[in-house]
Amino acid sequence: MAASRHLVVPAEPDQIVKLATFVAQAAADSGFDSLQINRIELAVDEACSNIIDHAYGGAKGIIRLEVEMVPHRKLTVILIDQGKPFDPDHIPDYSPRGSLDTIKVGGLGIHLMRQAMDDICYEFNVPGVGNRLTMTKRL
């Protein structure tokens, strides 16, 4: 049976641990092992950092986190903000051929999110919602 949880926090760096811990508990309750939980936490950490740094750019705002769980099947993480839209398609894919010194700021975090999760969907300026990032991880 599906279940959901949600959390709303200020878009501030000191809230990232709270958001990642909240998602980690939901992932554990859904049956994910510790390696997968760490990957999910990493994706949430990177996404929230991007919201704080790029969408809000230091301005006040909130991050709404929704977690939809289908135990022993999948976990869907939804992050909502009202900041400036950010199009990840403008960030080139990470190439392991280069050195870490040549990576553009922000490029590696998006790569890590894509590697950690099975599906990622960005939606911008959704009426009545704002910007919505949906990430899914299946067991």
Beta bridge partners of 130: 126
Distance between CA 62 and CA 11 in Å, rounded? 5
The boundaries of the domain holding residue 57 are 3-138
- Model pLDDT, residue 102: 57
Cβ–Cβ under 8 Å, residues 114 and 89:
no
Which domain CATH number covers 132? 3.30.565.10
Beta bridge partners of 81: 131
Q: Which of 52-56, 87-91, 111-115 has the least mean pLDDT? A: 87-91
Name the residue with higher pLDDT: 103 or 113: 113
The answer to whether 86 and 46 are in contact (CB under 8 A) is no
pLDDT number for residue 58: 85
- What is the count of structural domains for the chain? 1
Residue 106 has pLDDT above 80, yes or no: no
Give the tokens for residue 27: 């992932």
Contact 60, 9 (CB under 8 A): no
Res. 88: pLDDT tops 90: no
